Amino acid sequence: MSEVKANIPKRNTVQRKTVEHVINDAEGPLTVQEIHEHANAKCDVGIATVYRIVKALHEGGDIKCVVLPDGQNRYEAAHLGHHHHFRCRVCQRVFDLHICPVSLPEGTTLPGGFLVDGHELTLFGTCPDCAAKADEVDPVEAMNVIETDSNNE
Ligand SMILES: [Zn+2]
Ligand SMILES: [Zn+2]
């Protein structure tokens, strides 16, 4: 049993590094399920371990929890600067946007005397991957339409 115990810390280090890489390389904040999917493809790791690692990284201040309007907790690297999120309505993925579409400089006072010192914003729509898929004409479907037409004649 001592051999198994001795292997645990090393194994956890590999898994922790993998989870950190997955979060740092992601196109946007990820749910624990998504982190697990990506991490498990690189090294054998269970969802319970991923939860533990994510909790430790969060408590250590390495990652931030992001809660979007869908109410799910997602995690991203803590060092990212001001940015916003885009959620694709087709594939449900969330992407980081590196532009800020809000022209409200810090210190702006809105009518009524509301002094603005920050904002949060989530945009919704179709991501580039899904937009490209929607534009493609399915060749099989197009053939079926032609065949059906000729059979009818
Ligand atoms: Zn999409
Ligand atoms: Zn902004």
At residue 47, the pLDDT reads 96
Q: Which ligand sits closest to the CA of 104?
A: 2
At residue 148, the pLDDT reads 47
122: part of which helix (H) or strand (E)?
strand 122-125
Predicted confidence pLDDT, tens digits, the chain (153 residues): 444 444 445 667 999 999 999 999 999 999 999 999 999 999 999 999 999 999 999 999 999 999 988 889 999 999 998 899 999 999 999 999 988 888 887 788 999 999 988 888 899 999 999 999 988 756 555 555 544 454 444
At residue 138, the pLDDT reads 61
* Residue pLDDT, tens place only, 8-29: 456 679 999 999 999 999 999 9
What letter would DSSP give residue 89?
A: T
At residue 136, the pLDDT reads 76
**How many whole angstroms from 9 Cα to the centroid of ligand 2?**
41
Letter string b/e over residues 34-64, b meaning 16 or more CB atoms within 10 A of that residue's CB: bbbebbbeeeebeeebbeebbeebeeeebbb
Q: Which ligand sits closest to the CA of 85?
A: 2
Q: Which ligand sits closest to the CA of 124?
A: 1
At residue 11, the pLDDT reads 62
